[in-house]
Chains A and B, each alone.
Chain A
Amino acid sequence: MKTEKIDDILKYYVPSCMDKVVAYETEKSLEMGPPSEEYLEKMNRLVKRMRWKEKYFIPVKTSQRIVSAILVFLVTATVLTFSVSAIRNKVFEVIHVVYEKYTMYQYELQEGNVGKFVPMYPTYLPEGYRERTMDTGDNYSLQDYYNETTGKSIVIDEERIEDGTRIYEDNEFITEEKQERDGIEYRIGIKEDEIVIVWEKNGNSIALGSDLMDKETLLQVAAEMKTK
């Protein structure tokens, strides 16, 4: 052992050390009491949001699927965005990677400040839709509007774009199109029973998903979202 290079020591002993420590701590953690209701509620909301995001944008349920993903191309683009709360402009480099099943957009902040997250809310909703869930965190907002009569819902997930933010989009839509309204590009994906619209505004990435199969109505909801 004495003559091994320091990196060889690190490669061997760091994992063995941490395996033992984590095994011990895992056992000790079983002695802990239950967490607070508030924590459970917060974590459940986070899990629920991630379920929704994975359903539409991270179609990766198993590790095998990541491993088998095929990198088609990689492009970078510089995007200038403005925040409603920040005076300074923000410049992001967006790494755009297309895999077999999904596309990843990774944002890397080049200059400026991401500013404070200011969520937007729909000012127009089709008849019969009422708020069912409103979960707003420091940098995200999940809104769910539900129509009791039809059983259909409109779910809106908003996220502040920060350094390192990754947005995933499903590549498995039956049809895809882009529409521009008031200078904003809306990417629309249509599946058999769901429509997803994705766009960026005020430094946020917004995704609207619904089983209401009416593209024009959903686009109107998207276009008429505003800050309070």
Chain B
Amino acid sequence: MLMMYLSLIEDEGDQIKFEQIYHAYSRLMRYRAYQILKDEYLAEDAVHQAFLKIINSLDKIVDVKCNKTKHFLVVVVERVAIDLYNKEHKIGSVSFEEYQEMRHLGENEDMTEKAGLNEVEEIIYKLPTPYRELFVLKFCCGYENKEISKVLGIKEGTIRQRLVRGRKILMEELKGAGLYEDGKD
């Protein structure tokens, strides 16, 4: 009975949540990881590691098919891929500044045109990854700092600092583009 259960090929309705996530998003995650790593085998490793991380956050995924879930998975695999990239390039302890320099890894495509981003969205998309991933988890996924800390393995204090810094950078970028003004709100 037990082994029958294990060997069952079930239809989608009977699939466990983990399996549904795997079937729905592993290809997207592999694509995202490949954009960073430029190596198919490493990208596969990144996806596998990302799924191992996701196991402890399964209860946070309420609706498998919503965009919020997609964004969460993309952030997780992106983070794993960047860590793998660092490891492969022997970057043992990468400084935050160095890390920021990697912000456009895999993002050399003109997303503005291809994905149809407007001016504000383009500025957000081009934010350094350490800030953008926090904004995604906070404003797309609705995570608290403590939850983000667990997902990314970063101290809560660092998250608070990065959020402040990220907001400042975004504000400066928007101002530079003439899309934001102080003091009128």
Contact = CB atoms under 8 A, between A and B. Distances in A.
Contacts of A121: none
A200 interface: no
A25 B67 CA distance: 13
Contacts of A30: 27
Given A1-B120, A11-B139, A63 B62 contact: yes
Given A5-B185, A43-B22, A211-B2, A50 B16 contact: yes
Contacts of B181: 2-3
B52 A46 contact: yes
A22 B19 contact: no
A36 interface: yes
A6 B167 contact: yes
Interface residues of B, number: 63
Contacts, number: 172
A6 B170 contact: yes
B76 interface: no
B23 to A, nearest CB: 9
B160 to A, nearest CB: 14
A60 B59 contact: yes
Interface string B31-44: 11011000011001
A197 to B, nearest CB: 14
A137 B6 CA distance: 19
Q: Is the interface of B mostly helix, strand, loop or mixed?
A: helix
A204 B126 CA distance: 42
Contacts of A146: 3
B170 A51 contact: no
A23 interface: yes
A30 B28 CA distance: 8
A151 to B, nearest CB: 8
Contact of B22 (A20, A47, A151): A47
A50 B55 contact: yes
Interface residues of A, number: 67
Contacts of A23: 115
A17 B132 CA distance: 11
A153 B41 contact: no
A144 B31 contact: no
A172 interface: no
B124 A210 contact: no
Nearest to A39: B44
Interface in A146-186: 146, 151-153, 155, 164-166
B56 A166 contact: yes
A60 B17 CA distance: 8
Given A6-B180, A9-B170, A35-B30, 7 more contacts: A14-B139, A15-B140, A17-B121, A30-B27, A47-B18, A50-B16, A50-B55
The 7 A-B pairs of least Cβ separation, nearest first, read: A29-B31, A17-B121, A3-B184, A39-B44, A24-B115, A14-B139, A50-B18
Interface of A: 1-7, 9-11, 13-26, 28-30, 32-33, 35-36, 38-39, 42-43, 46-48, 50-52, 54-55, 58, 60-61, 63, 66-67, 104, 132, 137, 139, 144, 146, 151-153, 155, 164-166, 193-194, 209-211
